[in-house]
Amino acid sequence: MHTPPATSPIALTIAGSDSGGGAGIQADLKTFHARGVHGLSAITAITSQNTRGVSAVHPVPQAHLRSQLAAVFDDFPIAAVKTGMLGRAATARLVAREMAARKPAWLVVDPVMIATSGARLLDEDAVAAMVEGLIPLADILTPNLPEAEALLGRRIRKPGDFDRAGEALLGLGAAGVLLKGGHAQVTGKAGRDEVVDRYYDARGVMELRHARLPVEGHGTGCTLASAIAAELAKGCAPRSAVRRAVAYVHRALAQGYRAGGGTVRILRH
């Protein structure tokens, strides 16, 4: 673990709270600390959640979310911002307005739509609000395949679909797109199952391959986006930040543990 020095870069997560401690702002703040960054949070929603699933979601009132953002931006030199669960279209529009006005140096957008358990975490009309307002502000967008399909309105299945999807996602306005490959079945040269993440930017595509672990993790997407934001806050260039973050999540998942009665593993941040 990287212990933060006396003066640490500062990163902000704008996301939902996971009462089970495996995803959401809890995972984000653990990741920030592990990567040597001081973490701030603005909570968009409170979920009743454990390793078995999400049983309730309570959106935070817009006025209070706005006051959280004002409080942290008025006091801290925020180096990077990561957005996660937004839930409602009104929340997505509010966060987009705030980011456009405050212009953080780095913005990582994780378009959280579906929990690991299958619970929906983003309203249908919020997808359009995110595409229209927030994604064009993003330095890095981090969708998994189902999220990319929802953003683009088409299926991504064949090998050729991935690069076309990456280009289309860049066309939504983000400067870089990390298309996560955890939902795709890939067999590597050695005959082993692999996960292939693809990062797209103006320079082209960068592939990141690693062995698929025989476990299901809880909070991997939150952790990955937060790790990218942390590396950007420390001064890494986007491609380097993505490489480091992917490697970090792979290690954390490999060392993951069962904390509750569900089958998913909590990452060892």
**Can you tell me the mean pLDDT for 151-176?**
90
**Domains plus CATH for the chain?**
10-256 (3.40.1190.20)
- From the list 53, 42, 36, the residue with the least C-alpha distance to 231 is 36
CA atoms within 13 A on the CB side of 269: 24
Instruction: Report how far residue 117's alpha carbon sits from residue 114's, in angstroms, rounded to the nearest whole number.
Output: 8
Instruction: Report how far residue 37's alpha carbon sits from residue 10's, in angstroms, rounded to the nearest whole number.
Output: 6
Tens of pLDDT, residues 76-120: 999 999 999 998 999 999 999 999 999 999 999 999 887 655 556
Structure tokens at 69: 């953002």
**Can you tell me the mean pLDDT for 197-215?**
89
Q: What is the DSSP letter of 235?
A: T
Q: Is the pLDDT of residue 217 over 90?
A: no
Instruction: Report how far residue 53's alpha carbon sits from residue 33's, in angstroms, rounded to the nearest whole number.
Output: 26
What does the mean pLDDT of the chain come to? 90
Higher pLDDT, 45 or 256: 45
Which 3 state secondary structure label does DSSP give 37?
A: coil
Using a pLDDT cut of 70, give the percent of the chain over it: 91
pLDDT band at 31; cut points 50, 70, 90 = very high
Highest mean pLDDT among 11-25, 188-202, 250-264: 11-25
User: In this predicted structure, what is the pLDDT of residue 2?
Assistant: 56
Q: Is residue 265 a contact partner of residue 253, using CB atoms and an 8 Å limit?
A: yes
CA atoms within 13 A on the CB side of 123: 14
Whole-structure pTM value: 0.92
Residues facing 140 on adjacent strands: 108, 176
Chain position carrying tokens 């006091």:
75
